[in-house]
């Protein structure tokens, strides 16, 4: 039976004879069902007209994304760690070429994902590399559309995947919204792999935060303040967002803290800023 994939958010569902009746992730207020209704596809249907492309962001960090863009359009990151490579975030499309190329890099030992919009074909990726574990925060368990024993739910605010590589549950966009801190990133200055829990914006000098990006629903000031508080102990200079071109190469932590202060001022303000 095919494992149907939602064409809007890219989530792959448990194999079934017919497409699911709906996509709960798209029906949630943070995502959307297109005006034309829910549409479904499969990896076999995607294969003739899609391929994955790659970009090395720095030594030990390679981005992988799909062309032409599919669903939300994020790219994943392969973090080359001494204890085994880690896939950060995920994309829906995977094919034989992708598997062969990644195996040439040493394969994968684990998958970790920032939030449900990027769960995509995570089980397919896991199985392609021997059933490696997928680490997801327990707070987002309800959004798993393809349950599988390879999924390992974790509790608390941090989880160390390997020496110098830590998952940090910030919350915000989703209750389990997670970023990855890499001590060795940025040539030793530290890097944050942020998904869109900490969203990189076009000016590359600030970041932002939302409950829903497509529907423009903001986060509350306390939720954003919590993100700042939980990131405060971690040092990082570089931030890698969810797209190939969304990178802050220097001053990343300062950009986060300044942006948090600006955001809270705006959502709690008296309106005078809008008059300037």
How far out from the chain centre does Cα 199 lie?
10
| Whole-angstrom distance, CA of residue 112 vs CA of residue 122 | 9
Residue 269: CB atoms within 10 Å: 10
Supply the pTM of this predicted model: 0.96
Query: Which residues, listed in sequence order, are joined to residue 5 by a DSSP beta bridge?
Result: 12, 41
pLDDT band for position 274 (cuts 50, 70, 90): low
Cβ-count burial of 181 within 10 angstroms (0-12 exposed, 13-18 middle, 19+ buried)? buried
Phi, psi of 142 (to 5 degrees): -65, -15
Query: Cβ(207)–Cβ(198) under 8 Å?
Result: yes
Please report the pLDDT score of residue 276 as a whole number: 64
Burial 85-118 (b: 16+ CB within 10 A, else e): bbbbbbbbbbbeebeeebeeeeebbbbbbbbbbb
What structural domains does the chain harbor? 5-275 (3.60.15.10)
| Whole-angstrom distance, CA of residue 42 vs CA of residue 2 | 7
Both structure tokens of 22: 């709906």
Strands lying side by side in the sheet with 151-154: 51-58, 61-67, 76-79, 86-88, 110-112, 134-137, 151-154
Question: 232-265 pLDDT, tens per residue?
Answer: 999 999 999 999 999 999 999 999 999 999 999 9
Query: Cβ(70)–Cβ(63) under 8 Å?
Result: no
| Whole-angstrom distance, CA of residue 55 vs CA of residue 53 | 7
Question: 50-108 pLDDT, tens per residue?
Answer: 999 999 999 999 999 999 999 999 999 999 998 899 999 999 999 999 999 999 999 99
Query: Cβ(97)–Cβ(106) under 8 Å?
Result: no
Question: 193-241 pLDDT, tens per residue?
Answer: 999 999 999 998 999 999 999 999 999 999 999 999 999 999 999 999 9
């Amino acid at each position: 039976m095919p494992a149907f994939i939602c064409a809007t958010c890219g989530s792959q569902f448990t194999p079934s004879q017919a497409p699911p009746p709906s996509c709960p992730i798209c029906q949630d207020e943070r995502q959307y069902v297109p005006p034309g209704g829910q549409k479904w596809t499969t990896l076999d249907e995607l294969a003739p007209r899609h391929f994955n492309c790659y970009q090395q962001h720095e030594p030990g960090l390679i981005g992988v994304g799909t062309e032409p863009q599919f669903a939300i359009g994020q790219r994943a990151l392969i973090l080359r760690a001494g204890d085994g490579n880690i896939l950060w975030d995920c994309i829906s499309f995977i094919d034989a070429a992708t598997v062969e190329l990644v195996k040439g890099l040493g394969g994968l030992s684990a998958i970790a994902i920032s939030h449900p919009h990027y769960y995509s074909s995570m089980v397919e990726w896991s199985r392609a590399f021997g059933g490696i574990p997928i680490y997801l925060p327990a707070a987002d368990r309800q959004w798993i559309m393809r349950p599988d024993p390879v999924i390992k739910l974790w509790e608390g605010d941090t989880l160390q995947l390997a020496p110098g590589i830590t998952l940090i549950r910030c919350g915000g966009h989703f209750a389990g919204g997670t970023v990855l801190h890499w001590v060795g990133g940025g040539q030793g200055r530290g890097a944050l792999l942020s998904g869109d829990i900490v969203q990189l914006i076009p000016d590359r000098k600030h970041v932002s935060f939302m409950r829903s990006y497509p529907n423009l629903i903001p986060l509350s000031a306390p939720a954003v303040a919590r993100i700042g508080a939980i990131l405060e102990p971690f040092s990082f200079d570089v931030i890698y967002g969810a797209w190939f071109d969304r990178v802050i190469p220097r001053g990343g932590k300062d950009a986060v803290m300044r942006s948090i202060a600006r955001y809270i001022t705006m959502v709690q303000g008296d309106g005078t800023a809008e008059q300037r």
